[in-house]
Amino acid sequence: MWKEFKEFAMKGNIIDLAIGVVIGGAFGKIVSSLVENIITPIIGIITGGINLTDSLIFGIGDAQIKLGVFIQSIIDFIIIAFSIFMALRVLSKLNRKKKEELAEVPSAPEVDAKEELLMEIRDLLKNKQ
E strands present in 31-92: 57-60, 63-66
Q: How confident is the model at residue 107 (pLDDT cuts 50, 70, 90)?
A: low
pLDDT at site 9: 67
What pLDDT does 82 receive? 85
What's the angle, vertex CA 68, arms to CA 66 and CA 71, rounded to 5?
A: 115
Q: With beta carbons less than 8 A apart as the criterion, state whether 57 and 68 touch.
A: yes
Q: Of 105 and 37, which is predicted with more confidence?
A: 37
| Domains of the chain, residue spans | 2-128
Measured in Å, how far apart are the chain's first and last C-alpha atoms?
74
pTM, to two decimals: 0.53
pLDDT-derived band of residue 76, with 50, 70 and 90 as boundaries?
confident
- The fourth-level CATH superfamily of domain 2-128 is Large-conductance mechanosensitive channel, MscL; domain 1 (1.10.1200.120)
Tell me the C-alpha distance between 106 and 31, whole Å.
45
